[in-house]
Amino acid sequence: MRSRQRMFAAVMRLLLKCLRLGRRRRFKLVRQAEQLWHYGQLCLRSLLYNSFTNSDVVLDSLFEPIYWLVDHVTRWFGVVFVALVIGLTSSIVAIVYICLLPLILQTYTPAWICWHLAYGHWNLIMIVFHYYMAITTSPGHPPQAKDDLTGVSICRKCIAPKPARTHHCSICNRCVLKMDHHCPWLNNCVGHYNHRYFFSFCLFMTMGCIYCSISGWEMFRDAYAAIERMKLLEKERLQVAANQTYYQTPPPTFSFRQRAFHKSVVYLWVLCSSVALALGALTVWHATLITRGETSIERHINKKERQRLQKKGKVFRNPYTYGGWENWKLFLGVDMPRHWLTRVLLPSPHLPHGTGLSWDLPPCVTEQRAPLLAI
């Protein structure tokens, strides 16, 4: 009996010992897992930590694959977009000359005819000139001779000095002077030397679309009503033909020329109104940036810098702005009053102020400012 009790006690002691060892091993594994977890967090934070990280940086990181896709698609479809702009614009001009101009000459008074002919052709010339100059003019690139170039930073992709306001275009794969953005509708970057052409094209194209929308509103209403009447008469004609016993098709109510005329007027008004809304919003946005003396890229940079300095109780000042009016004069290249006519209201291929490599005080600006800072 005692031997059995001893054996039972020995077995119980062995079982308790095993349980204790199991607990120790379990605690040891849990401790090791916690250590690995904290070590992994430390490694991740050491690699990814950035004191400037915020929601914008996180969103940019998440959308990086989309940006890569857009860059490569834009690179290959730029020619298609340019052809689309030329094709749509040419179709509107053809409709105006073929369909609307004869009607204007027959129904309008001589004064209104002179107004439409003068304004319409002036607007068309300005659109064609500025679009051609925007797509054919190089935005400007830093020179290849790196020894003579004074840069405020180094481009991480070109591994070369980068002047102030210069940014690298991932689509063109080059640094662009005073880069604003890469425009697929131009198949070209918008930079120092063609920024004025780009904005002028947007402005005059918007003005032309608004002009066509307002001038063609009554024609659009009549054409739309005529198309609805065509559809109704076509339905009635088919019903009458189905109830007849003979096989002769009734003659059409409207001729092909009438149908083409009404549909062309509707197409012109819808396209011009849509472009006026979309391109008008873009034009207002760029006009706001020009008034502030900054580009689209600098707007995001300045916003972050303004928020950073605001937390420190400081005020951010854009070193490239001279005031709204002076910014517009500098952007348009207006050095004297007559330039508003010769350089703004008429086609002008004059170059912008400066070379895009340095940003000294222009002669047309009298306001003094603080020394330039790198953006």
pLDDT (tens digit, 9 = 90+) per residue, 265-313?
999 999 999 999 999 999 999 999 999 999 999 998 888 888 888 888 8
Specify the length of the chain in residues: 375
pLDDT above 90 coverage of the chain, percent: 42
Determine the Cα–Cα distance for residues 207 and 358; give it in Å rounded to an integer: 34
pLDDT band at 137 (very low <50, low <70, confident <90, very high): very high
pLDDT score recorded for residue 259:
85
pLDDT band at 127 (very low <50, low <70, confident <90, very high): very high
Determine the Cα–Cα distance for residues 123 and 207; give it in Å rounded to an integer: 8
**Mean pLDDT, range 74-81, rounded to an integer:** 81
Domain count, the chain: 1
pLDDT score recorded for residue 18:
62
pLDDT score recorded for residue 39:
80
pLDDT above 70 coverage of the chain, percent: 77
Q: In one letter, which amino acid is 189? A: C
**Mean pLDDT, range 115-132, rounded to an integer:** 96
Considering the domain boundaries, does residue 160 fall inside one? yes
Q: What phi, psi does 188 have (nearest 5°)?
A: -160, 155
Instruction: Give tens-digit pLDDT for 211-227.
Output: 999 988 999 999 888 88
Considering the domain boundaries, does residue 203 fall inside one? yes
**Mean pLDDT, range 101-124, rounded to an integer:** 92
pLDDT of residue 164 exceeding 70: yes
Instruction: Give tens-digit pLDDT for 24-77.
Output: 666 667 777 788 888 887 777 776 666 666 666 677 777 677 767 766 666 778
Contact 279, 209 (CB under 8 A): yes
pLDDT score recorded for residue 227:
85
When the pLDDT of each residue in the chain is averaged and rounded to a whole number, the result is 83
pLDDT score recorded for residue 74:
67
Instruction: Give tens-digit pLDDT for 324-347.
Output: 999 999 999 998 999 999 999 999
Instruction: Give tens-digit pLDDT for 179-203.
Output: 999 998 999 999 999 999 999 999 9
Determine the Cα–Cα distance for residues 86 and 58; give it in Å rounded to an integer: 39
Enter the tokens of residue 59. Answer: 């969103």
Considering the domain boundaries, does residue 40 fall inside one? no
Catalytic residue among 172, 183, 209, 272: 183
Determine the Cα–Cα distance for residues 100 and 61; give it in Å rounded to an integer: 51
DSSP 147: G
Name which of 324, 368, 204, 375 is nearest 276 in CA terms: 204
Query: Is 212 tagged catalytic?
Result: no
Determine the Cα–Cα distance for residues 107 and 215; give it in Å rounded to an integer: 13
Considering the domain boundaries, does residue 187 fall inside one? yes
- Written as one string, the DSSP assignment of 223-247 is HHHHHHHHHHHHHHHHHHHHH-SS-
Q: Write b or e for each residue in 29-44: b if 16 or more Cβ atoms lie within 10 A of its Cβ, otherwise e.
A: eeeeeeeeeeeeeeee
- Domain that includes residue 170, residue range: 61-244+251-368
pLDDT score recorded for residue 357:
85
Determine the Cα–Cα distance for residues 241 and 127; give it in Å rounded to an integer: 50
pLDDT band at 162 (very low <50, low <70, confident <90, very high): confident
Considering the domain boundaries, does residue 23 fall inside one? no
Residue written as tokens 């007849």? 244
State whether residue 6 is helix, strand or coil: helix
